[in-house]
Amino acid sequence: MNASVMIEPEVLYLREAEDAPNNSVLPVLIYRAIVKSNVKNKAEAFEKHFAENEWSGVWRDTVYTHRHFHSNAHEALGFAKGGAKIELGGAQGKVIIFKAGDLLVLPAGTAHRRVAGSRNLSVVGAYPKGQGHYNMCRTMDECRDAKHKIADVALPVADPFYGKDGPLMRAWQKNNA
């Protein structure tokens, strides 16, 4: 991918909340219109980039309406069709609107849920290599050791879209040093 057309993500830091551990070290990354509007099959485009960059466990579905987090895996969500309002960080977190072509990358521990979405919403999800057996925590009590697990989750070997020289590598490595 030519660096001159690389989309720099929005960076969102979340603090631990009563209902979510979040990730106090790594930020959430939001890439707007990373798959351009003229690409007919955005799901295939996301899947191709995820596979090339060693993000696996790929699925196509939507985002759950119940708040949850993964204490043992980072997650990439590529919005392939439609749009959605996604709550990030728990009940006191932020609600952000996503459209087809956007990419959301969540560090381990980041609470998220769909607040609203279009009928045609389709999302492609993936996890860094070796993290496809993620857990599904709805509450802090359900995953009591979540805070300890989050700190031990390995960094990905590549940005899910741009690879080894992508923005995620810079954003997460400098924050994890």
Answer with the residue of higher pLDDT: 140 or 109: 109
Write the pLDDT tens digit of every residue in 67-76.
999 999 999 9
| pTM of the shown model | 0.94
Q: For residue 5, what pLDDT is reported?
A: 81
The three-state secondary structure class of 68 is strand
How high is the pLDDT of residue 124?
Answer: 98
pLDDT at residue 59 in the model: 95
Query: What is the pLDDT averaged over residues 110-116?
Result: 97
Tell me the average pLDDT across 104-112.
97
In this prediction, residue 3 carries a pLDDT of 43
Does residue 3 form part of some domain?
no
- Convert the pLDDT of each residue in 45-86 to its tens digit: 999 999 999 999 999 999 999 999 999 999 999 999 999 999
**What is the distance between the alpha carbons of residues 137 and 130, in angstroms, rounded to a whole number?**
19
Rounded distance between C-alpha atoms, residue 61 and residue 82, angstroms: 12
Whole-number percent of the chain with pLDDT over 70:
95
* Number of independent structural domains in the chain: 1
Assigned domain for 2 exists: no
List of residues 6+ apart from 109 with CB closer than 8 A: 20, 21, 22, 23, 69, 70, 71, 146, 147, 150
Look at residue 36 and tell me if it is in a domain.
yes
Strand duo 75-81 + 103-106: pairing: antiparallel
Question: Quick one: average pLDDT of 25-37?
Answer: 97
Q: What is the pLDDT of residue 146?
A: 80
Report, as an integer, the average pLDDT of 30-36: 97
CATH number, domain containing residue 94: 2.60.120.10
| Average per-residue pLDDT for the chain | 93
Please tell me the predicted confidence (pLDDT) of residue 31.
Answer: 98
Residues 6+ apart with CB under 8 A from 107: 23, 25, 26, 27, 28, 74, 150, 153, 172
Q: Which domain holds residue 32?
A: 8-176
